[in-house]
Amino acid sequence: MTNIAVLASGRGSNFSAIIRAVKRGLIKANLLLLVCDNPKAGAIEKAKRSGIRIALVERKDFSSKIEFEKKIIQHLEECNIELIVMAGFMRLLSPDFVSRYKGRILNIHPALLPSFKGVEGIKDAFNCGVKVTGVTVHFVDEEMDHGPIILQKAVKIEGSDTLESLEEKIHKTEHLLYPQAIKLFIEGRLKIEERKVKVSNPGG
């Protein structure tokens, strides 16, 4: 089975959704490693409860981004990781790192890319007054919130929505969509063709 690592910096709600999907058998893979750059992240406790190996790698402990990423790569190689899943990892990976794992790094963004890139995707969409936003799962490339799109799902912004209620709807959608995208990868049903993702047998 495919060996998966999750990179996270925060509370780990998408990490929890992935754990649940693996335990239920929706994702038939080995979730072996959490890489975290924040010792106070909620994701760490979730990994402990599920018996998942934790690699705490703090940027402040390294003289350069290169050395920081070398340590992450060391942990990934020790676990023979084949798929890297970004789940709220608040650092932009270097082009060298991305090239090393090209086509094997997934990310989720709380908006319909290419709209509302950046760390405030939900808030930016809400403040902009659009009627529809959503969630995007994509392959990671050298640019922020870029790369071939795997799945997207729209979320309506109702007139009664607050920022908080929209955040809740977005997070619920993320927790459904991300495991689906990971499942497609694990089953070998994703192929990047000219910067676009082709899904084989999408109804399967």
List, by residue number, the catalytic residues: 109
DSSP the chain: -EEEEEEESS--HHHHHHHHHHHHTSS-EEEEEEEES-TT-HHHHHHHHHT-EEEE--GGGSSSHHHHHHHHHHHHHHTT--EEEESS--SPPPHHHHHHTTT-EEEEESS-TTSS-STTHHHHHHHHT-SEEEEEEEE--SSTT-S-EEEEEEEE--TT--HHHHHHHHHHHHHHHHHHHHHHHHTT-EEEETTEEEESSTT-
Between vectors from CA 50 to CA 103 and to CA 81, what angle results, nearest 5°? 25
How far is it, in rounded angstroms, from Cα 113 to Cα 62? 33
